[in-house]
Amino acid sequence: MFSSRLLKFSRRARYPIGAVAALAVSACASSDARKKPSVVDSYSQVVRDRAAAAADGPHRVRHNPTPCACPPFEVQLQGAWHRVVFLVADDQLADLATTQERLEREQGSEALIAGSFDDTLTVCANGALVVSLQPTDLDAQTPPTDDE
Protein backbone atom coordinates (compact mmCIF):
# COMPACT_ATOMS: atom_id res chain seq x y z
CA MET A 1 0.00 0.00 0.00
CA PHE A 2 2.55 2.49 1.00
CA SER A 3 4.80 1.71 -1.93
CA SER A 4 2.09 2.31 -4.57
CA ARG A 5 1.49 5.82 -3.28
CA LEU A 6 5.18 6.53 -3.30
CA LEU A 7 5.43 5.21 -6.84
CA LYS A 8 2.60 7.48 -8.05
CA PHE A 9 4.15 10.48 -6.38
CA SER A 10 7.59 9.81 -7.78
CA ARG A 11 6.25 9.39 -11.33
CA ARG A 12 4.55 12.77 -11.16
CA ALA A 13 7.52 14.42 -9.60
CA ARG A 14 9.96 12.95 -12.11
CA TYR A 15 8.76 15.17 -14.98
CA PRO A 16 9.01 18.51 -13.22
CA ILE A 17 12.41 17.60 -11.79
CA GLY A 18 13.57 16.56 -15.25
CA ALA A 19 12.33 19.85 -16.71
CA VAL A 20 14.05 21.85 -13.99
CA ALA A 21 17.28 19.91 -14.52
CA ALA A 22 17.14 20.56 -18.28
CA LEU A 23 16.59 24.27 -17.70
CA ALA A 24 19.46 24.43 -15.25
CA VAL A 25 21.82 22.70 -17.66
CA SER A 26 20.80 24.95 -20.56
CA ALA A 27 21.12 28.07 -18.38
CA CYS A 28 24.67 27.14 -17.49
CA ALA A 29 25.52 26.50 -21.11
CA SER A 30 24.18 29.85 -22.27
CA SER A 31 26.01 31.83 -19.59
CA ASP A 32 29.31 30.27 -20.69
CA ALA A 33 28.57 31.24 -24.28
CA ARG A 34 28.27 34.93 -23.38
CA LYS A 35 31.63 36.65 -23.12
CA LYS A 36 31.90 39.26 -20.41
CA PRO A 37 33.66 42.49 -21.39
CA SER A 38 37.23 42.77 -20.18
CA VAL A 39 38.29 45.40 -17.67
CA VAL A 40 40.07 47.30 -20.46
CA ASP A 41 36.92 47.31 -22.61
CA SER A 42 34.83 48.51 -19.67
CA TYR A 43 37.29 51.29 -18.81
CA SER A 44 37.48 52.33 -22.46
CA GLN A 45 33.71 52.73 -22.46
CA VAL A 46 33.86 54.83 -19.28
CA VAL A 47 36.42 57.16 -20.90
CA ARG A 48 34.36 57.38 -24.10
CA ASP A 49 31.25 58.21 -22.07
CA ARG A 50 33.12 60.91 -20.13
CA ALA A 51 34.39 62.48 -23.35
CA ALA A 52 30.93 62.35 -24.95
CA ALA A 53 29.33 63.98 -21.91
CA ALA A 54 31.89 66.80 -21.82
CA ALA A 55 30.35 68.56 -24.85
CA ASP A 56 32.40 71.50 -26.15
CA GLY A 57 33.96 72.61 -22.89
CA PRO A 58 35.90 74.56 -21.95
CA HIS A 59 38.07 71.81 -20.51
CA ARG A 60 40.82 72.02 -17.91
CA VAL A 61 44.17 71.01 -19.43
CA ARG A 62 47.46 70.63 -17.60
CA HIS A 63 51.06 69.73 -18.43
CA ASN A 64 51.99 66.49 -16.64
CA PRO A 65 54.95 64.85 -18.45
CA THR A 66 55.81 61.19 -18.08
CA PRO A 67 59.11 59.37 -18.63
CA CYS A 68 57.49 57.22 -21.33
CA ALA A 69 56.24 58.17 -24.79
CA CYS A 70 52.76 59.19 -23.61
CA PRO A 71 51.45 62.69 -24.41
CA PRO A 72 52.62 65.19 -21.76
CA PHE A 73 49.19 66.84 -21.46
CA GLU A 74 46.06 65.78 -19.61
CA VAL A 75 42.45 66.91 -19.71
CA GLN A 76 40.03 66.69 -16.80
CA LEU A 77 36.79 64.82 -17.55
CA GLN A 78 34.25 64.36 -14.77
CA GLY A 79 36.91 64.82 -12.11
CA ALA A 80 39.45 62.39 -13.62
CA TRP A 81 42.57 63.31 -15.59
CA HIS A 82 43.12 61.62 -18.96
CA ARG A 83 46.03 61.87 -21.40
CA VAL A 84 45.11 64.07 -24.37
CA VAL A 85 46.38 64.87 -27.84
CA PHE A 86 45.24 67.92 -29.77
CA LEU A 87 43.84 67.70 -33.29
CA VAL A 88 44.48 71.19 -34.62
CA ALA A 89 44.24 72.90 -37.97
CA ASP A 90 47.34 74.52 -39.43
CA ASP A 91 46.14 78.00 -38.45
CA GLN A 92 45.92 76.91 -34.79
CA LEU A 93 49.47 75.53 -34.50
CA ALA A 94 51.03 78.79 -33.30
CA ASP A 95 48.33 79.32 -30.64
CA LEU A 96 48.64 75.72 -29.48
CA ALA A 97 52.43 76.05 -29.23
CA THR A 98 52.03 79.21 -27.12
CA THR A 99 49.58 77.47 -24.77
CA GLN A 100 51.80 74.41 -24.48
CA GLU A 101 54.91 76.52 -23.76
CA ARG A 102 53.06 78.43 -21.03
CA LEU A 103 51.88 75.22 -19.37
CA GLU A 104 55.37 73.71 -19.52
CA ARG A 105 56.93 76.89 -18.09
CA GLU A 106 54.35 77.44 -15.32
CA GLN A 107 54.36 74.07 -13.56
CA GLY A 108 51.04 73.31 -11.90
CA SER A 109 49.09 75.76 -14.05
CA GLU A 110 46.07 74.85 -16.12
CA ALA A 111 44.60 76.14 -19.35
CA LEU A 112 40.96 76.30 -20.33
CA ILE A 113 40.53 74.97 -23.84
CA ALA A 114 37.17 74.78 -25.60
CA GLY A 115 36.62 72.07 -28.17
CA SER A 116 35.08 68.71 -28.87
CA PHE A 117 36.43 65.21 -28.47
CA ASP A 118 36.95 62.74 -31.26
CA ASP A 119 35.20 59.41 -30.55
CA THR A 120 38.36 57.33 -30.90
CA LEU A 121 40.80 56.38 -28.16
CA THR A 122 44.43 55.48 -28.56
CA VAL A 123 46.73 53.70 -26.15
CA CYS A 124 50.13 55.17 -25.31
CA ALA A 125 53.33 53.36 -24.38
CA ASN A 126 52.43 52.54 -20.78
CA GLY A 127 48.89 51.42 -21.67
CA ALA A 128 47.09 54.64 -20.68
CA LEU A 129 44.12 55.63 -22.81
CA VAL A 130 44.48 58.87 -24.76
CA VAL A 131 41.56 61.05 -25.85
CA SER A 132 41.73 63.39 -28.85
CA LEU A 133 40.54 66.98 -28.50
CA GLN A 134 39.77 69.29 -31.43
CA PRO A 135 40.17 72.76 -29.92
CA THR A 136 37.94 75.61 -31.02
CA ASP A 137 39.34 78.14 -28.51
CA LEU A 138 42.81 77.65 -27.04
CA ASP A 139 42.36 80.44 -24.51
CA ALA A 140 38.82 79.99 -23.21
CA GLN A 141 38.05 82.20 -20.23
CA THR A 142 34.84 80.62 -18.91
CA PRO A 143 35.72 78.15 -16.17
CA PRO A 144 34.25 74.67 -16.59
CA THR A 145 31.67 73.31 -14.18
CA ASP A 146 32.58 70.57 -11.70
CA ASP A 147 30.92 67.99 -13.96
CA GLU A 148 33.67 68.29 -16.59
pLDDT tens per residue, range 32-91: 556 666 666 788 888 889 988 887 778 999 999 888 889 999 999 999 999 999 998 888
Q: DSSP character for 88?
A: -
Spell out the domain ranges in the chain: 1-34, 39-137
Model confidence over 103-140: pLDDT tens digits?
888 878 888 988 999 888 999 888 889 999 999 888 77
